[in-house]
Amino acid sequence: MNWDALATYGPRMLQGLVVTLQLVVISITLGALLSIPVALARMSRSRILRAISFGYMYFFRGTPLLAQVFLVYYGAGQFRTQLEAIGLWWLFRDAFFCCVLTFTLNTGAYQAEILRGAIRAVPAGQREAAMSLGLRPRQIFRKIVMPQAILIALRPLGNEVILMVKGSSVAAIVTVFDLMGVTRLAYSRTFDFQVYLWAAVLYLVVVEIIRRVWDKLEHRLTRHMRSA
């Protein structure tokens, strides 16, 4: 163990971990909000809405996250005057916000696909029963279809959270000091390979905690579906 390096960079790596978690929590939450209208548009009767949501999902699921980050972060610089005119330049100037924006769009596309699959997996009989009870379409969606769809989506959503934790490391390449960013900084100063191993342990711990918590959550939310 290199205790000097640990004393210097250990606390900063923990700060980096906090930045990583901020990136993940904000992006996953905003992405979840985004995914609902996108999934609905994907299943809508309007051909235009379907085409737009399909194009959005295909693009963000088919291209590398790193390329998307570059496109937003460096690409925005080219539209500086326009962005300043509409007062959004402060957002695109900051690497952290650019990453949040890109990650949100990226995970929104993945979550929409998960949600779409889950909504379609809810048996049609549920919808028919609700209709025969005289519920309105909106009520059916909110009280019958969505709660069941979310239970089906729970496992893939947990995987998506873990993928986001791992994917968020690309923020380091556009100068965000998340866990990966601090680790690269520490390595460039100390040339001690250990720092990468510490980062690996931290990432593994985070992923394992999420997995455990998610299992507990799933166990609790599906308790009515288990026979005694």
Partner 1 sequence: MDLLRLLSFGPDGWGDELLQGTWLTIRLALATVPFGLALGFLVALAKRSPNRYLRAFGNAYTTVFRGLPELLTIFIVYFGGQIALQRIVGLFSGATVEVNGFIAGMVALGVVFSAYASEVFLGAFNNITRGQYEAAYALGLRPATTLRLVIIPQLVRLALPGLANLWLILLKDTSLVSVIALDDLLRKTGLAVRVTKEPFLFFGVACLIYLALSMISSIGIVAIERWANRGLRRAS
Residues that bind partner 1 (CB under 8 A): 58-59, 62-68, 70-71, 74-75, 77-79, 162, 165-170, 172-173, 180, 183-184, 187, 193, 196-197, 199-200, 203-204, 207-208
Q: Which is nearer to partner 1, 33 or 209 (by Cβ)?
A: 209
CA distance 144 to 125: 11
Residue 35 vs 106, nearer CB to partner 1? 106
Alpha carbons 178 and 198: distance in angstroms, whole number: 14
The CB-of-138 to partner 1 minimum distance in angstroms stands at 35
Q: How far is the CB of 217 from partner 1 (least distance, A)?
A: 19
Alpha helices (H) along 64-193: 65-77, 80-85, 89-93, 95-121, 124-132, 137-139, 146-167, 179-190
Return the SS3 of 207.
helix
Residue type, 143: K
Beta-carbon count within 10 A of 24 CB = 23
Nearer to partner 1, 61 or 143 (CB): 61
User: In the complex, what is the shortest distance from the CB of residue 182 to partner 1, in angstroms, rounded to a whole number?
Assistant: 12
Distance CA 121, CA 33 (A): 20
Query: Min. distance of Cβ 140 from partner 1 in angstroms?
Result: 33
Closer CB to partner 1, 31 or 130, in the complex: 31
Quick one: tokens of 221? 């939310």
* All residues at 6 or more sequence positions from 174 whose CB lies less than 8 Å from its CB, including other chains: 69, 70, 73, 95, 98, 99
**Minimum separation from the CB atom of position 142 to partner 1 (A):** 32
Q: Which is nearer to partner 1, 144 or 178 (CB)?
A: 178
Burial track 70-93 (b if 16+ CB lie within 10 A, e otherwise): bebbeebeeeeeebeeeeebeebe
Considering the complex, state which of residue 69 and residue 112 has its C-beta at the smaller distance from partner 1. 69
* Nearest approach, Cβ of residue 193 and partner 1 (Å): 6
